Chains A and B, each alone.
Chain A
Amino acid sequence: MAVQYPLVQTATAPLAPPVTWGDEIYTFIRKKPLGAAGAFIIAVMLLVALFAARLAPYDPYAADYGAQFMRPSGAHWFGTDEFGRDVLSRIMYGARIALFVGFVASFVGCTLGALLGVISAYAGGTVDLCLERLMDILLAFPLLILALAIASILGPAVQNVVVAISIPIIPRAARVVRSSALSVKENPYVEAAGSLGASRPRVVFQHIVPNVLAPYIIILTAQLGSAILTEAALSYLGLGTAEPTPSWGLMLSGSASAYAEKAPWIALFPGIAISLAVFGFNLFGDSLRDALDPRLRRKA
């Protein structure tokens, strides 16, 4: 007598509860406390930049010749500079410049670089060879000197600084993305997609690009911090943002060293702001890399 098996067996065990954003964030904080600290610093900076107009106690541009070189006090937490401008307010507005330049420059640079890297890897042959040589040429330039030259062509203005900083990022991103696109390209599913008649753009954007997003995000977060640093260095050298725009690097140049003995706080606080911002991005980026890199996920 044959046993009757039901044709379709319905699973009765309860499904695992869906992982929510809250759980993911909680796990990240617990597993990567340093990364969470970085994310916290970035969040605070973003809020300060967004609400600078509300939060800043003074007008960052308003000179007050009665209040030059005021020591840090209840009225001026971070003191005032040689024009009597409130240093805290200028730092708060400076966060806008730093974050804007950092985000836009590294996004533009990394995205262009990543696209070139994917194209280079997918096309192969002469295209690859030519693009690689072009990237070699760009890489052979010292980053700061290339930015310096571009910034002096375009003149001091925020949008020009963005261009000057994003161009040197392109070859760096292209390198990283190209090498991982090369290995993704060899996967059977890429070949399968091609044989099923998928067009070239479809193969690239549907099958290759999603699989190189991890290195793209890693290089993006890594470049964020260095873009902020480059902006500060360019402004310090007088080739970045021009006075009176409150930029952290600019606040450190000229007057800060000239009045160092009289008013060291002018040089102290903008430097802390730069360091803290870059520190936050690096902490976050570092932990993100640990979390995204499958080679590091295995237990030692």
Chain B
Amino acid sequence: MASYLAKRLFLIVPTLLGVAAVVFVIMRVIPGDVALLILGGDQAGHIDKAQLAAMHRQLGLDQPLWTQFGHWLWGVVRFDFGTSLWTGRPVLEELLGRLPLSLELAILATIVSVLLAIPFGVLAAARQDTWVDYLIRVVSIGGLAIPSFWVGILIILLLVIYFGWGPPLEYTPPWVNPWANFQQMVWPVVSVGYRYAAVTTRMTRSTLLEVLRDDYIRTAWAKGLHERAVVVRHALRNAMLPVITLIGTEFAFLIGGLVVTETVFTLNGVGRFVVDAVAHRDYPVVQALVFLIAFGFVVVNLLIDLTYAWLDPRIRYR
């Protein structure tokens, strides 16, 4: 187990280096220049060349790419992600200001989705090819099909038209005012949670269907166990592994992947931060965010693999 862990931890390094390199290159390839944007306007002709060069020097963009990359990596190792070229504030500080919102949204959406998905997924599998199964499948396939930003637009439409209510613009943390926080978060959570519930319901249904065909399940039936005991105690426990993987990876993506939902509900979270940073060509911010999201993804993946060993005694890592 310890050597397996060491091996996995070691393999994280090349993956993250690769991610760092890819983001770095992508950001430098995107046409557009942050110095131009800071100096105002895209019309290069109107800007003094010397001024532009000075700005480049000030931002460190005149150095060779290798130097820039090395400099950045050295910062990352010391947990220093540099300063935003756009606002001039440290990236980490900006990020920490926005993280609570995205984290809250991701956690609540995950909870909502799990609470909906597992019971309905089990029900659909236990009643395969009946109207219950069809209904659950149609609703969950619908959840995958309906863009979450459109659900958001519709919710806002309904609230605005019928209740004259607009979403508040400033984020209120739950520890400051739980009620204001609830009012702000409930709709985004519903629109994201429905989608992820749909994904998880389908996974629960299909893995459970496979497990229900196993020999030991026939044995359980033959022993005369009740349906609840067979399905929940015998089948569900074994069907949970892929479902947990899915929940874990979806969570890792939720934190960074809320780009569209945050845009719809004008929430100032991490997702919006990424979009704005890409638009401003704010290299350090995009690099840091993508790197951290990828880091979170890799760590969650590792945790999932370790959970496997804990849940399934047959799995032994070497």
Contact = CB atoms under 8 A, between A and B. Distances in A.
Please say whether chains A and B are actual partners in one complex: yes
Given A141-B19, A145-B293, A237 B259 contact: yes
Contacts of A237: 259-260, 263, 275
B217 to A, nearest CB: 9
A271 B278 contact: no
Contact of A274 (B29, B147, B253, B298): B147
Nearest to A289: B206
Interface stretch (A2-10, A17-25, A132-140): A132-140
Contact of B146 (A144, A233, A261, A271): A271
B153 A286 contact: no
A257 interface: yes
Nearest to B297: A140
A137 B18 contact: yes
A133 B11 CA distance: 9
Contacts of A278: 144-146
Contact of A295 (B137, B149, B160, B210): B210
Given A140-B294, A260-B156, A264-B161, A279 B149 contact: no
B212 A271 contact: no
Contacts of A137: 15, 18-19, 22
Contacts of B22: 137, 141
Interface in A260-295: 260-261, 264, 267-268, 271, 274-279, 282-283, 286, 295
Interface stretch (A54-62, A64-72, A147-155, A184-192): A147-155
A300 interface: yes
B18 A271 contact: no
| Residue in A134, A145, A267, A295 whose Cβ sees the most chain B Cβ within 10 Å | A145
A62 B23 CA distance: 41
B143 to A, nearest CB: 10
A60 to B, nearest CB: 20
Interface string A21-41: 000000000000010000000
A297 B28 CA distance: 50
A195 B193 CA distance: 54
A143 to B, nearest CB: 7
Q: Is the interface of A mostly helix, strand, loop or mixed?
A: helix
A261 B278 CA distance: 31
A229 B160 CA distance: 26
Contacts of A257: 153, 156, 264
B257 A142 contact: yes
Given A143-B257, A148-B275, A260-B153, A153 B31 contact: yes
B256 interface: yes
Contacts of A134: 18
Interface in B65-114: none
B141 A279 contact: yes
A235 B302 CA distance: 34
Contacts of A274: 145-147, 150
Contacts of A144: 257, 259-260
B144 A233 contact: no
A142 B256 contact: yes
A117 B68 CA distance: 34
Q: Would you list the 10 A-B pairs with minimal beta carbon distance, nearest first?
A: A278-B145, A271-B150, A279-B145, A137-B18, A140-B294, A275-B146, A142-B256, A282-B141, A275-B145, A142-B257
27 contacts: A34-B134, A133-B18, A137-B19, A137-B22, A139-B297, A141-B293, A144-B257, A144-B259, A144-B260, A145-B274, A145-B290, A148-B278, A153-B29, A153-B30, A153-B31, A225-B144, A229-B147, A236-B263, A260-B156, A264-B161, A268-B154, A271-B146, A278-B146, A279-B141, A282-B144, A296-B210, A298-B213
Given A252-B153, A260-B156, A279-B145, 15 more contacts: A34-B138, A133-B11, A145-B293, A155-B31, A233-B147, A233-B149, A249-B147, A260-B160, A264-B161, A275-B146, A278-B145, A282-B141, A295-B210, A295-B213, A300-B212
Interface of A: 34, 133-134, 136-137, 139-145, 148-150, 152-153, 155, 225, 229, 232-233, 236-237, 249, 252, 256-257, 260-261, 264, 267-268, 271, 274-279, 282-283, 286, 295-296, 298, 300
